[in-house]
Amino acid sequence: MKRIKVGIIGQGRSGRNIHRHLFECSPLLQERFDVIAVADPISERTAPTNPGADPACRRYADYKEILKDKDVELVVNACRSHKHVDIAIEAMQAGYNVVCEKPLTRHVSEVDRLLKVKDETGRFFAVFQQARFRPLYRKIFEVIHSGVLGRIAMVKVAYNGFGRRWDWQTIQDLCAGELLNTAPHPLDQMVELWESFGETDPERIFAKLACINNYGDAEDFVKVILEGKDHPVIDLEVSKECLFPTYQYQVFGEKGSLVGNGETVEWKYYNPAEAGSHEVSIAPIEDAARLPIYCSEKLNFYSEKWTCPPEASGFDDWGTKYYLNIYDAITKGTPIAVKLSQIRRQIAIIEECHRQNPLPKFVKVPEGTL
């Protein structure tokens, strides 16, 4: 089996602890990928510490050295977010295939600039959105489209918790904030779900962003609602002000509803064939004694529950599945699961959220910060 030779730009939380970890610790990825070079200005982060690491892996201080290394076949761009587009373009123009960390950018014009270079160079390009492969979400998607819940009124996703933050992920000028940091995971899922009801842009987007607990100037509270004809309402929350989080996923349907949390999905529904039907009553509803009553009936609800297999419950499983798709896309021409048109739609939603909520900037980033 051919092993794709990988160079990783950036050895921070993502480049080192996610991408390099996956390539060097997942047996399925070790068979398919070989990390031969990494780059980071902090040398301690480039040391080979994973069990499957190649001790001969080249360690560069400047990412431009990776773009001169002609043994590298795939560049993973895990630099800080504000440089994602520029470095991805630089890598493709240097002749490399590229996987880029999310968020790709905060502007649709930047997506289009990058896709133009992709077309001009003929290079492979994809964005790392491993949550698309989360088994919990995949099961929810399956149940929604099974029809058992009937017409779907709303899908609510809440990635909520409580915390204060003061790192670079709180600075607007570094392409940070929860809308660009955490929200791309559930938003990518919701874009796929949205498109499964019809590949159109949302007709209405409501967004509320606020910086409440962050020490930087980027948002840590996100509320986004998407609406459109023949689509369920999508209600997305990401908040760092919630000490009592409930379900991560809720689905409101015509015949029943669903909740998903952690590694478990539960859904309840009734069978219309067993329930009979009613005719609307213009006259007030009353009992035999002609006293007013509410509508009341006894429906027989069926309950089902699914639990994620233990071996597929962690982040490593999602990332491994993502990269298996990337491997097949590069070596066999298999379509990528996270389509670039979906990335563009995601960024269009993010840009509109920022347009509706211009937050004041007060953190000054030094010129040339990478």
- Per residue in 236-279, pLDDT (tens digit) is 999 999 999 999 999 999 999 999 999 999 999 999 999 989 99
Residues 133-316+346-356, CATH architecture: 2-Layer Sandwich (3.30)
pLDDT at 297 over 70: yes
Q: What is the pLDDT of residue 76?
A: 98
- Give the start-end residues of each E strand in the chain: 4-9, 33-39, 58-60, 74-77, 97-101, 125-128, 152-160, 204-210, 221-227, 233-239, 249-253, 256-261, 264-270, 301-307
pLDDT at 314 over 90: no
Q: What is the pLDDT of residue 369?
A: 73
pLDDT tens-digit map of 48-74? 999 999 999 999 999 999 999 999 999
Separation between Cα atoms, residue 356 and residue 109, nearest integer Å? 18
The answer to whether the 4-128 and 133-316+346-356 domains have the same CATH topology is: no
CATH of domain 4-128: 3.40.50.720
Whether residue 171 contacts residue 363, with contact meaning beta carbons closer than 8 Å, is answered with: yes
Query: Domain map of the chain by residue range?
Result: 4-128, 133-316+346-356
Better pLDDT: 320 or 311: 320
Whether residue 190 contacts residue 198, with contact meaning beta carbons closer than 8 Å, is answered with: no
| pTM, full prediction | 0.95
pLDDT tens-digit map of 132-174? 999 999 999 999 999 999 999 999 999 999 999 999 999 999 9
